[in-house]
Amino acid sequence: MRAPYQPDPLFEKLGPEFADPVAAARFPQHVLRWRNQDWAERVGLGDLSDAAWAAHFARFEPLPNNMPAPLAMRYHGHQFRTYNPDIGDGRGFLFAQLRDGAGRLLDLGTKGSGQTPYSRFGDGRLTLKGGVREVLAAGMLEALGVYTSKAFSLFETGEALTRGDEPSPTRSSVLVRLSHSHIRFGTFQRLAFFERADLIHTLIEHVCAAYYPQHLDLSGEARAAALFGEIAAASARLAASWMAAGFVHGVLNTDNLNVTGESFDYGPWRFVPVSDPSFTAAYFDETGLYAFGRQPEGVSWALAQLGGALSLVCPAPLLEAELQRFVPAYQTGLRDALFARLNLERGAFEPDLAFTSALFGWLTETQASWDQFFHDWFAGEASAARAAASPQAGLYAKPAFTPIRAGLEARTKAGAAPTHPYFQRAAPHTMLIEEVEALWAPIAERDDWSMFEAKLSQIAELREALAQRT
C-alpha cells in the first residue's frame, strides 16, 4: 500500500517543558541490516535511495518539512513498582512525525542513537544483538495480530560496546522504530510529580487532538476522564493480545506503556513454549512480577498509577469509574484475539468467555506446545484432519480435550478450511528464545545473516497466512 509522504510534527508544538533538543551520535560505520520496505511505502518513504535512507536513519539528517532537531522526551515512571524520577529518553529520541495512508499520526523514534540529558551513566548505545531482537519481536507480533510498533530501520554502527550481560566487546547498532505514539504513562507522571496541573491539561488536549479527537468537544474533568477511559480500554486490549500471542513483554513499567495501547520497546521479551503463568522474560525479574500470567495485572496496576497522575485535574471517582472499563475490555479483547488467531466465529459472549477459560486451562494442564496447538486448529474443526497428523495428536485424542474440540467445532466458520500453503506444514513458525540465540550465533561468529533473513521470510509467510496486519 503506497502512500504519499505526509509530515506532521505535532509534538514539538507542545514546547520546551516536554522534551529537550539533542544531537545524534556520530557513528564510524553505517551498515544497513534491516529496512522495512513495506512500512516505508505506507508512510511515503519507500522511494528513498540507500544513500538517503542512511542519511536520515543513521546520520539523522532531518526529513523534509519535519522536525529540525531530534527531541529527547521527558518522563518519569514506576520501574518494577518503584518510582524513578531520574529517567527519560536516555538512548533514543523522537526524530520525526508523519501520517500513514489511513491518516494515523505516527512517530519515528530511535534506540541507540547516543547520549541525552537522561542517559545518566549510560553510553546511549544499542547492541547489534538488541537491535536484531527488536526486529524479530516486532515482526512476529505484527504477524500474530498484536498492535505493535514496527522496527523500521537497523544500522550496524561499527562501535565496540561493553555490556555486563553479554560477551564484551560486542557490536553496536542504531534502531529506528515506527510507533503510533511515544507518549507514555510516565509522561503524565512526571508532570504530576512537579504538580503541573496546567501542563497536564496541555498534554491531555494534545493527546486528544492527536489520537482521540472524538473527545475534543469535552473539556476539563470530563475530557480527562474520557481520555483515561480510552487509554484503559486500549491497554486492556493490548494485554489480551499478548496473552493470545503467548508473548511476555518482560518490563511493564509505566514508561513502557503508552497512550494508544500500542506495544513497544522490546528488551528481555520471550514467547512461551507452553502455557505457564509463571514464565518470565527478564532474568532480573526475580519475583515474577511481569510473568506471563501476571501481565493483565501489571497493565492494570500501571493504569492505576496513570489515574493517580490525572487526579490532579480530575476527581478520583470519575477516574475510578473509567478504570472499570479494563476488565470487560480485557475479556472481550482476549476472546477476540484468540478467536482471530484460530479463525473462529464469535458467538454469545458468556459461552465464548467460558470456552476461552477452558482452553487456557487445558493448555496449562497438558503443557501442549503453544504454537503447535494454534497451528493445528486454525479454522477449528475444518483442520481436524491436520490436527490428527500433528506431533501432539495424542493429546487431542484424550478425553480431556473433548470439550475443547466441541467448542472449536461449535465456532468453526462455514467454508473455513485453510488454503494457504503454510498450513500444509507439520510444524508452525515460532520465535522461541533458543531460535533467537541460534540465529545470532552465526552473525556474531562469522557475520552470517542467512538464518536471520530466513527467519524474517518465515515471519512474512506467517503474516500472509494469518492475513493479519496492525
**pLDDT over 90 percentage in the chain:** 97
How many secondary structure helices (H) and strands (E) does the chain include? 16, 13
Distance CA 374, CA 365 (A): 16
119-141, pLDDT tens digit by residue?
998 999 999 999 999 999 999 99
The predicted structure's pLDDT at residue 416: 87
Specify whether 8 is catalytic.
no
Q: Mean pLDDT, to the nearest integer, of 87-108?
A: 97
DSSP of 193-242, one letter per residue? HTT-HHHHHHHHHHHHHHH-GGGTT--HHHHHHHHHHHHHHHHHHHHHHH
Catalytic residue selected from 255, 285, 336, 371: 255
The predicted structure's pLDDT at residue 168: 81
* 412: helix, strand or coil: strand
Under a CB-based contact definition with an 8 Å cutoff, are residues 158 and 143 in contact?
A: no
DSSP of 302-327, one letter per residue? HHHHHHHHHTTTS-HHHHHHHHTTHH
Please classify residue 93 by burial: count the beta carbons closer than 10 Å to its beta carbon, then call 0-12 exposed, 13-18 middle and 19+ buried. buried
The predicted structure's pLDDT at residue 164: 76
What stretches of 246-348 show up as alpha helix (H) in DSSP? 295-310, 316-323, 326-342
The predicted structure's pLDDT at residue 264: 96
149-192, pLDDT tens digit by residue?
999 999 999 999 998 777 889 999 999 999 999 999 999 999 99
Please classify residue 365 by burial: count the beta carbons closer than 10 Å to its beta carbon, then call 0-12 exposed, 13-18 middle and 19+ buried. exposed
Q: State the pLDDT confidence band at 419, using cuts at 50, 70 and 90.
A: very high
Q: Mean pLDDT, to the nearest integer, of 15-25?
A: 97
For residue 333, pLDDT beyond 60: yes
The predicted structure's pLDDT at residue 467: 83
Q: Mean pLDDT, to the nearest integer, of 347-361?
A: 98
Q: What is the mean pLDDT of the chain?
A: 97
For residue 469, pLDDT beyond 50: no
The predicted structure's pLDDT at residue 421: 95
The predicted structure's pLDDT at residue 135: 98
For residue 470, pLDDT beyond 80: no
Q: For residue 194, give the C-alpha cell.
A: 512537579
